[in-house]
Amino acid sequence: MTFESAAGEKPSPLQGIQLYTQLGLFLTVRTIMNSGFRMIYPFLPFIARGLGVREAEVTFGITLRAAVGLFSPIIGSLGDAWGRKRAMLLGLALFIVSMVMVFISPTYFVLIVSMVLTSLSKIMFDTAMYAYLGDRVDYRQRGMAAGIAEFGWSGAFLLGIPLAGFLIQNLGWASPFPCFGLIALGVIVLLWRLVPSETVSKELKRPSLLEGLGIIRKHPVGLAALGMVFLLTTSNEVVNVVYGSWMENSFALEVAALGVASTVIGVAELAGEGFVAGFVDRLGKRRAIAIGVSLYSVSCGLLPLLGNRLEGALVGLFLFSLTFEFSIVACIPLMTEIVPGARATFIAMASATHSLGRMAGSLIGPVLFKSGLGANAGAAMIFTLLALLLLGLFVKEQLVVSN
């Protein structure tokens, strides 16, 4: 199975203005979707109080939405069956529903359902988007393309989270949801108009889900890369899930101040994504990941040492976020080419592994936090060193494209 344009031709490579226009559109969509996804972390204590539930009950929703990612291979296969554009449109439509439903019924049960749908929408959109870029962007430029598309992750903390903090402070905990939903409603029209339609051709058969999983199972480099992604994501979530509570408890930050403090993380992630866009293609994917993960391990160890004062805590979070973002985004172009015989399935598997790491970290983080932030940071450092070990031992340059 392969993709063709609506006219029946193979997809033409994206170049020049068309490439950057579509990357800009993907950046906008992902900024909105990631804002809806990420705002739970810094404002978790305030959302819990607004609902009249314990923080652990909202954390359960984070774990549950991470568990949805385990079905990424099934969800991601829709991009093959229906075409990349249809899958992206459906993913964004589900996001709009997930936001609006909280405005209609701001209850704990609806919030949990909304969180699950948000995760589902992100998986569907992101998997189809990266498969689309894999189809149409030369591997030598894919680090640049991934870096630009991932600006939407940092854009959430730079733009969406401060906006959410302002809205929560003035209009209540549920107010950001309809705001992001309405913005997404306008963007979905642009997505429909600017991304070319595709049809699915059966002349060149792509592997089915089971066939693709079979190929990956026999691919040691691919399996090691998935293990590396799991460890990196777990290390990050172990800290992410508690940093809002840590900042509030240690420095008595109000909700709006937490939103502004989150901008520091957004700037760090923006810098990390910018470094990926600018340097990963030049350095080579594997070498760039090794550099990033090494620095990330150091930043994990520094986090509790710098956290005695607010200024130091912000510096620690900046370094932690910068090095992680560079490391994980540098993995993306590698993931699009490690198993070219089952590209879509492998991208979906990487997404599932990412979600599994988020789920594991969200379970481990609150337990460790009972002993203080140092326990979370120490665990994050151990996971990171294990990821570096996998990279060094197994993720070699025996790839179809040597870069």
Q: How far apart are CA 174 and CA 51, in angstroms?
A: 10
* Domain-wise residue ranges, the chain: 16-194+209-393
Contact call for residues 272 and 326 (beta carbons, < 8 A):
yes
What's the pTM?
0.78
**From its phi and psi, is residue 227 left (phi > 0), alpha (psi between -120 and 50) or beta?**
alpha
pLDDT of amino acid 400:
42
Q: How far apart are CA 305 and CA 181, in angstroms?
A: 40
Q: In Å, how far from its chain's centre is CA 214?
A: 26
State the Cα torsion 112-113-118-123 to the nearest 10°: 110
pLDDT of amino acid 5:
42
**From its phi and psi, is residue 52 left (phi > 0), alpha (psi between -120 and 50) or beta?**
left
Contacts of 237 (CB under 8 A, 6+ apart): 66, 357, 358, 360, 361, 362, 365
Q: How far apart are CA 81 and CA 398, in angstroms?
A: 30
- Secondary structure (3-state) at 148: helix
The DSSP secondary-structure symbol of 157 reads: I
- Which amino acid is it at 198? E
Q: How far apart are CA 361 and CA 383, in angstroms?
A: 10
Q: How far apart are CA 118 and CA 98, in angstroms?
A: 6
pLDDT of amino acid 403:
41
Q: 298: which 2 tokens?
A: 């150091």
pLDDT of amino acid 63:
82
Q: How far apart are CA 165 and CA 32, in angstroms?
A: 15
Contact call for residues 70 and 196 (beta carbons, < 8 A):
no
Q: How far apart are CA 147 and CA 24, in angstroms?
A: 11
From 133, 100, 128, 130, select the one nearest 114 (Cα to Cα).
100
DSSP output for 316-336:
HHHHHHHHHHHHHHHHHHHHT
pLDDT of amino acid 4:
45
Q: How many Cβ atoms sit within 10 Å of the Cβ of residue 249?
A: 13
Q: How far apart are CA 193 and CA 50, in angstroms?
A: 39
pLDDT of amino acid 255:
63
DSSP output for 182-225:
HHHHHHHHHHHHHSPPEEEESSSPPP-HHHHHHHHHT-HHHHHH
| Residues in the chain, total | 403
pLDDT of amino acid 364:
92
Phi, psi angle pair for 382, to nearest 5°: -60, -45
Burial of 289 from C-beta contacts in 10 A (0-12 / 13-18 / 19+): buried
pLDDT in tens, the chain (403 residues): 444 444 344 555 666 678 888 899 999 999 999 999 989 988 888 899 999 999 889 988 888 887 887 788 888 777 666 778 888 999 999 999 999 999 999 999 999 999 999 999 998 899 889 888 887 888 888 889 888 998 998 888 888 988 998 999 899 999 999 999 999 999 999 999 888 876 555 444 555 567 666 777 777 888 899 999 999 999 999 998 887 777 777 776 666 666 666 678 778 888 999 999 999 988 888 899 999 999 999 999 998 888 778 888 888 889 999 999 999 999 988 887 787 666 777 888 888 898 889 889 988 999 999 888 889 999 999 999 999 999 988 877 554 444 4
HSE-up of residue 376 (Cα within 13 Å, Cβ side): 29
Phi, psi angle pair for 306, to nearest 5°: -95, -5
Q: Which CATH superfamily is domain 16-194+209-393 in?
A: MFS general substrate transporter like domains (1.20.1250.20)
